[in-house]
Amino acid sequence: MVDAAAGVTETSLLRWIPFLPLGAAAIHGVLLGLVRRPLSRRGTIFLSCGAVLASFLISLFAFAELLGPEGPRVRVDNLYTWIGAGNFSAEASFLLDPISAVMILVVTFVGFLIHVYSIGYMDDDHRDDTGFQRFFCYLNLFTFSMLMLVLGDNLLVMFLGWEGVGLCSYLLIGFWYSDRWNAYCGMKAFVVNRIGDFGFLVGIFVLFWALADVGKPTVAFREIAAAFPQIADRMVTLPAWLGGAEWKLATLVGLCFFLGACGKSAQIPLYVWLPDAMAGPTPVSALIHAATMVTAGVYMVCRLSFLYAAAPGASAVIAWTGAITALFAATIAITQTDIKKILAYSTVSQLGYMFLAAGCGGYAAALFHLATHAFFKALLFLGAGAVILAMHHEQDTDKMGGLARAIPRTRWVFLVGVIAISGLPPFAGFFSKDEILLTAFAAHSVPGNTWLYGIGVVTAVLTSLYMFRLYFRTFHGATRLSPENFRRVHEPSETVRYPLYVLAVFSLFAGFAGFPQVYGDWLGIPDSNSLAHFLAPVLAGGLHDPGVSHGEELRLALLALGAATAGLVVAWWFYLRSPDLPGRIMQSFHAFWLLLHEKYFVDEIYDALFVRPTVWISDRVLFRSIDAGLIDGVAVNGTARGVQALAARGLKYVHSGLTQSYLFLMILGTVAIVGWLLR
């Protein structure tokens, strides 16, 4: 744990990291919304990509400063006091510590690559004149919000970014809003996220209330961490209408925050928005719904690791929710055919892995997988976008196949992403997923951790299976396109391809940032897991040592490798060797297949349980009865009708038109007032 007072350096560098993209977004907004003179495409590209690139370079510089020998590990950029009231003050300030350093590097680097990719991807979008600039405006605004989220020094700044990314997600999912379905998906994402945000807010309130109760009203992370041991073991009695049970404060607050994380990071029961969020343009899916925004929940859990370390109950809930989500989403992904839907469920599943690690106390493992996942999932989404471009906006893998001959470059980088996510060494996903499985295996404090490990391994098999299924069905086998359509398939432009190459390189090598010590010992590298060492000072539990012997660790790694290979072999058997086999299995287990293919009917269940009753109550009770009936009918129109009737029946006769009667009334009034004053 970092001491709250010592080791803090002031800097005024950090503010530029979020404010440069904000400036670009503001210029776009003014030009589009107020001046109504859109920039040229070249100007838009220069402004947006330039801002994010500059932001990345500053992040890199700040990160390098942080690495300095024996230098303080924490840097703070304090802008001004946002809220000051008595002995409470919330600063508008940014915090750079190892956690946020990793996050800003991922956000600005992947963000910049996706900005570049978007130049090519959005180039053929002629749905409206200003769409190109509007897209980059939202993208910049998103980058700003995400950076606020990860750089925020206290819960309030973080919440500002948290809401900001939600808004940008909504704007970008419904980017092509003229299609009602896209607008609906944006709304769904926003509404589901509100439920999570509610939990987040309640968490902030309860935490603040408890801190104020011990005389330390604060929202700043480092101060909360310092004061938290005083309140962690308090018991809180819920109000009677919530059951009146006694809860440990740390558990209660932890669960409230985790509800927020469930919303943003698409975990059961709030994951339903993410697959539908694929209605947005593909760069958006890559940036927001794979690499950055959806990892905000994982980031928050790691940021509050001191809280979760003191709340074993909440941690167990996180680990189990993560594991079940990982398995659940992976089973759905196996039966989907839409290329983006498969990747969306895969994202839900991988986020489940991250929560599994965080719940088991492996915060560094969670952040490691977050970073590697950002690279390979962005690569996969952008690769899918390249396929979609090549196929002239066809997303259904049922209508693809054999594309390896037509778009070989896209195929190779896509294959890198597939191998990375499947967890085959030495690609990035192998190391990060292995560390998560190891953490789960060794987390004896979590009830049923052996089961968690088992679920993790099964999910690893399924991951490799659905990813290679996607790859084989898209790029190999007999093509399901007509010959003339197949000839029209073309490689995308350079701006689309180059970001893919860069991401492919990182998907290949990013894993070495967290190179496990067990291999490091062979090669004679001390402290080979440099990421974990870098993060250790600011995470609860420090350098998380699972306490597993090297021999055991190797056996586990071999098992994980076996799982990934098993998935690969099954996918190869099913989709290349005997392609009619899946159909036959589908026939014999039709009910089960339907259950998976229809996503366990969760959307339908939610629709019947929550959406329809809410809509019915809103329409019949709130709108028709209360709003239209009571407020409009009685209060507003009733008043008007009453006054009208009164005036028509009696009051109008006061206006006789006789000046003298007015004068008489005026004198009476004057006499009355003077008489009252002289009383």
> Stretches 313-321, 410-418, 574-582, 649-657: which one binds another protein (CB under 8 A)?
649-657
Take residue 514 and report the two structure tokens written for it. Answer: 């967290």
The reply to whether 659 sits near another protein by the rule CB under 8 A is yes
Q: Which is nearer to another protein, 238 or 667 (CB)?
A: 667
Q: Which is nearer to another protein, 80 or 653 (CB)?
A: 653
| Residue 360, burial from CB neighbour count under 10 angstroms (0-12, 13-18, 19+) | buried
Output the smallest distance, CB 647 to another protein, in A.
9
The reply to whether 660 sits near another protein by the rule CB under 8 A is yes
Query: Taking the mean position of all CA atoms in its chain, how far away is CA 437?
Result: 23
The reply to whether 658 sits near another protein by the rule CB under 8 A is yes
The reply to whether 678 sits near another protein by the rule CB under 8 A is no
> Stretches 108-116, 286-294, 314-322, 657-665: which one binds another protein (CB under 8 A)?
657-665
> Stretches 277-285, 425-433, 546-554, 659-667: which one binds another protein (CB under 8 A)?
659-667
Take residue 440 and report the two structure tokens written for it. Answer: 């789960």
The reply to whether 483 sits near another protein by the rule CB under 8 A is no
Output the smallest distance, CB 188 to another protein, in A.
57
Contact 467, 349 (CB under 8 A): no
Of 37, 393, 649, 655, the one binding another protein (CB under 8 A) is 655
From the list 388, 392, 352, the residue with the least C-alpha distance to 370 is 352
Take residue 18 and report the two structure tokens written for it. Answer: 């979020």
Output the smallest distance, CB 679 to another protein, in A.
19
Q: How many CB atoms lie within 10 A of CB 65?
A: 16
From the list 267, 285, 265, the residue with the least C-alpha distance to 276 is 285
Of 576, 664, 669, 672, the one binding another protein (CB under 8 A) is 664
Rounded distance between C-alpha atoms, residue 442 and residue 439, angstroms:
5
What mask, x for binding another protein by CB under 8 A, covers residues 566 to 605?
A: ----------------------------------------
> Stretches 192-200, 436-444, 635-643, 651-659: which one binds another protein (CB under 8 A)?
651-659
Output the smallest distance, CB 675 to another protein, in A.
15
The reply to whether 667 sits near another protein by the rule CB under 8 A is yes
Output the smallest distance, CB 656 to another protein, in A.
6
Output the smallest distance, CB 667 to another protein, in A.
6
How many residues bind another protein (CB under 8 A)? The answer is 11
Rounded to 10 degrees, the C-alpha dihedral 350/354/355/361 comes to 160
Q: Which helix (H) or strand (E) holds 82?
A: strand 74-85
The reply to whether 652 sits near another protein by the rule CB under 8 A is yes
Strands 74-85 vs 8-10: parallel, antiparallel or unpaired: parallel
The reply to whether 663 sits near another protein by the rule CB under 8 A is yes
The reply to whether 653 sits near another protein by the rule CB under 8 A is yes
Rounded distance between C-alpha atoms, residue 386 and residue 231, angstroms:
52
Output the smallest distance, CB 653 to another protein, in A.
7
Contact 97, 74 (CB under 8 A): yes
Give the type of residue at 491.
E
Contact 211, 217 (CB under 8 A): yes
Peptide bond between residue 426 and the one before it cis (omega within 30 degrees of 0): yes
Q: Which is nearer to another protein, 585 or 643 (CB)?
A: 643
> Stretches 434-442, 455-463, 613-621, 656-664: which one binds another protein (CB under 8 A)?
656-664
Q: Which of residues 251-290 bind another protein (CB under 8 A)?
A: none
> Stretches 34-42, 338-346, 521-529, 660-668: which one binds another protein (CB under 8 A)?
660-668
The reply to whether 656 sits near another protein by the rule CB under 8 A is yes
Phi, psi dihedral angles at 81 (to 5 degrees)? -80, 115
The reply to whether 657 sits near another protein by the rule CB under 8 A is yes
Take residue 171 and report the two structure tokens written for it. Answer: 């704007």
Rounded distance between C-alpha atoms, residue 171 and residue 175, angstroms:
6
From the list 364, 347, 336, the residue with the least C-alpha distance to 514 is 364
Output the smallest distance, CB 664 to another protein, in A.
5
Rounded distance between C-alpha atoms, residue 103 and residue 643, angstroms:
63
The per-residue DSSP string of 387-441 comes to HHHHTTS--BGGG---TTTT-HHHHHHHHHHHHHHHT-TTSHHHHHHHHHHHHHH
Which residues are near another protein by CB under 8 A?
A: 652-653, 655-660, 663-664, 667
